[in-house]
Amino acid sequence: MSLSQFTDDDVLDLHDIALLLNYERGTTEPRFRNTKLREVAAHGADFQTIDSGNIPQWVGATVPRTGFVFDTPTGLTQEQKDEPDLPSNMLLRPVKPLLQHLTPKDLELYYWQARNHDACFKTIAIFQYFMDLFQYESTSIRVRVVDQNKPRTYTTHASNRIIVEVNLYQPKSMNISFAKRNMYISGIDPVFYHAFLSFPPPSGKEEDGTILDLSSLQFGDVGRGFKGKAVFVLEPVKDYVKRLDNFAVGNDYEEAKRSKFINPSPFDDYLKDVARRAKERWDKRQTAPWCGHCGAPSRGAPLKRCAKCQVAYYCDAEHQLAAWQYHKHFCGEPTRK
């Protein structure tokens, strides 16, 4: 549970919301639901379990490429099928030799890199449907952001958020995933479309605001927030614009399309269900905390509690250390503002 979770019902904390929405989507992503990682091809390596000669985009790539092969195990019990998909259970046991070198951080990266393929508009839609579950006229969002290594907090009306759609020219990486007889590939076209949310401060100047990008890890490690530790990006606009240079050679951020609402899609039933589950967890925030790094609830063993503020919780010491790059700036601050 993060620092603002004991707040007035009509004020939502942006970081907290991001944790819940990210977790609920990632753990139930339909394209990868109940799949297990069979192989990773990264750092210039080629596939060993499939014939990449039949994938001209992979063979002809001139940028760093990362590929994943996922299998759907047979004979899973209903209990196993109902388990959330997590980086920690993404591998079959015993772990195959091809994957024994992977660290927990590697698994986290690859988990999100695959699931965030073509997910930017889905994450925006989930945010929109989440907000639809609150009183539109009175709901405000508290934005806690680290700006030039200093904490900054401001509150804005939920309706002030902006959807920004940019063109990224000449992407600097290529990703490909095989799962459930489908191939998902990105970074092969000269122009890549990407979208994220912008939250201007009360002054109304977008350049002084904050960007939330819940699908940033599709670009690999350069998409990690909070000094390369977080699984999404929440940072000042000026920092995010610089980050775009790590995603592609160029972009049209200044001239990008800006809008307030996203159009319906074939995935809406699922996306609304994700938003509903996140809302249920938000409503239980005082009694059911979640990890301040990944958004996971307690799954048997109690979550680790921050000894200093006694408000933030984590799955384990590793997640606490990863979240510290953000949490240290807000640890101990009053939970009511």
- pLDDT tens digits for range 123-165: 999 999 999 999 866 799 999 999 999 999 999 999 999 999 9
Residues 6+ apart with CB under 8 A from 119: 25, 214, 215, 218
Q: What gap in Å lies between CA 86 and CA 322, rounded to an integer?
A: 17
Q: What is the pLDDT of residue 4?
A: 40
C-beta pairs of 202-211 under 8 Å, 24+ apart in sequence: 202/154, 202/155, 202/156, 206/162, 206/237, 207/237, 207/238, 208/237, 209/143, 209/236, 209/237, 210/14, 210/143, 210/145, 210/234, 210/235, 210/236, 210/237, 211/164, 211/235, 211/236, 211/237, 211/240
Residue 88 lies in a domain: yes
- Residue 255: both structure tokens together: 């001239």
Q: What gap in Å lies between CA 125 and CA 264, rounded to an integer?
A: 8
Q: What gap in Å lies between CA 318 and CA 325, rounded to an integer?
A: 12
Question: In this structure, are residues 66 and 173 in contact, taking their beta carbons and an 8 Å threshold?
Answer: yes
Assess whether pLDDT exceeds 60 at residue 3. no
Provide the residue count of the chain: 337
Residue with tokens 């191939």: 183
- pLDDT tens digits for range 282-295: 999 999 999 999 99
Please count the structural domains in the chain.
1
Residue 28 lies in a domain: no
- pLDDT tens digits for range 187-228: 999 999 999 999 999 987 999 999 999 999 999 999 999 999
Residue 10 lies in a domain: no
Give alpha helix (H) positions in 10-119.
14-26, 56-59, 78-82, 104-115
- pLDDT tens digits for range 167-189: 999 999 999 999 999 999 999 99
Q: What is the pLDDT of residue 135?
A: 81
Range of the domain at 98: 35-115
Average pLDDT over residues 300-309: 92
Residue 234 lies in a domain: no
- pLDDT tens digits for range 231-245: 999 999 999 999 999
- pLDDT tens digits for range 249-282: 999 999 999 999 999 999 999 999 999 999 999 9
Instruction: Catalogue the E-assigned strands of 115-219.
Output: 140-147, 150-157, 162-171, 174-179, 182-186, 191-199, 210-213
Residue 149 lies in a domain: no
Q: What gap in Å lies between CA 314 and CA 290, rounded to an integer?
A: 7
Give residue 306's identity as a one-letter amino acid code: C
Sign (positive or negative) of CA dihedral 243, 244, 249, 251: negative
Q: What gap in Å lies between CA 4 and CA 258, rounded to an integer?
A: 29
Please, what is the average pLDDT of the chain?
Answer: 93
- pLDDT tens digits for range 41-97: 999 999 999 998 889 999 999 999 999 999 999 988 999 999 999 999 999 999 999
Q: Which residue did the predictor score with more confidence, 150 or 6?
A: 150
Q: What gap in Å lies between CA 107 and CA 71, rounded to an integer?
A: 16
Residue 85 lies in a domain: yes
Residue 311 lies in a domain: no
Residue 313 lies in a domain: no
